[in-house]
Amino acid sequence: MGSPGEQAALSLLDQYSCGFMVSQVLFAACELGVFDLLAEAPEALGSDAVAARLGASSRGTELLLDTCVTLRLLQVETRGGKALYANTELSSTYLLRSSPRSQHHMLLYLARTTYLCWAHLAQAVREGRNQYPQAFGVPSDQLFSAIYRSEDEQLQFMRALQDIWSVQGRSVMAAFDLSPFPLICDLGGCSGALAKECVSLYPGCQVTVFDIPEVVQMARKHFPCPEEGRMGFQEGDFFRDRLPHADLYVLARVLHDWADDKCSQLLARVHQACKPGGGILVIESLLDADGRGPLTTQLYSLNMLVQTEGRERTPAQYQALLKAAGFRDIRCQTTGGVYDAILARKWCPPPPPLQPVTAGESQTP
């Protein structure tokens, strides 16, 4: 037996080294439909019943269910010597497909795309570029080619973003009062999840979701738009095509995909399109000033290494990019969640001073 300090260190090391196993338990339970099955059952189920309904092995199902109990994803009670399983509040809220706050699709996206890239993290660190060639056999300079490698995978990613904004969207759209901006454009707005939050919060606003043609077509096909007339879609590439007219442009989880030069290029285009007095709202997960936290954002930044050409940034780094593009009055607002908001304005020249009226001149025509 080592010292208590040594035992604590080894315990922490074990916890870290098994982290990927914990993720896989969560991913597998979602993929198999464990939480949905238990939610639909009229009462708690034994492992044999769960296995039979899932078409899975009894041994594997029992091991998975018991591990989910330890992870507080499931609860168990014993009746007549038999273990019966049911969902916890956590799984009922975030893991059921039918829950309005479900993260089910995001977890499947992490399992099927992100996880495969992370198997090559060491190589990504050596090369300084994403691992799409190794993970999917697609070029590293085509950032969304792996995500959009099939219609099913594209739909999975779009639903994953829906999941994120179902729990984070309202707080970031309410971080600043956006009611002074009646016409809003969500650049790279995907399925319109943030746009829906926006029109819900600000009844006087109209929102245009601007994204590439295949995304817009998928959004129109799979994501109903109950706010027809107050929000709509427009096809285009924000690096090349003319941006829609707007009082406010939203960039949510966009800048972190790109290196500084691409961010500067995009922000310059937004500034050029922006009306004087208009603004830009950047929504990102922000690093601490020294870049050494919070841990979740650091992991997101490593994820940008293995999946994109970008990184997460500090508030000061985003402010520098915005200022270089010509934006002023830059304000950062934390939300208490994973994502925060930065609002900046395009300088509006003050009106010319009124000329003094000399004696005998009329002030009215």
CA distance 119 to 78: 39
End-to-end CA distance of the chain: 97
* Cβ–Cβ < 8 Å for 320, 328: no
CA distance 169 to 341: 11
**Known catalytic residue: 222?**
no
CA distance 81 to 209: 56
Active-site residue (options: 104, 105, 120, 256) = 256
CA distance 223 to 290: 40
User: Among 244, 261, 149, which residue's Cα sits nearest to residue 189?
Assistant: 244
Coil, helix or strand at residue 228: strand
**How many Cα atoms sit within 13 Å of 18 on the Cβ side?**
9
Residue 342: left if φ>0, alpha if ψ -120 to 50, beta else—which one? beta
* Cβ–Cβ < 8 Å for 310, 292: no
CB contact set of 327 (below 8 Å; sequence gap of 6+): 267, 271, 279, 280, 344, 345, 346
Active site residues: 256
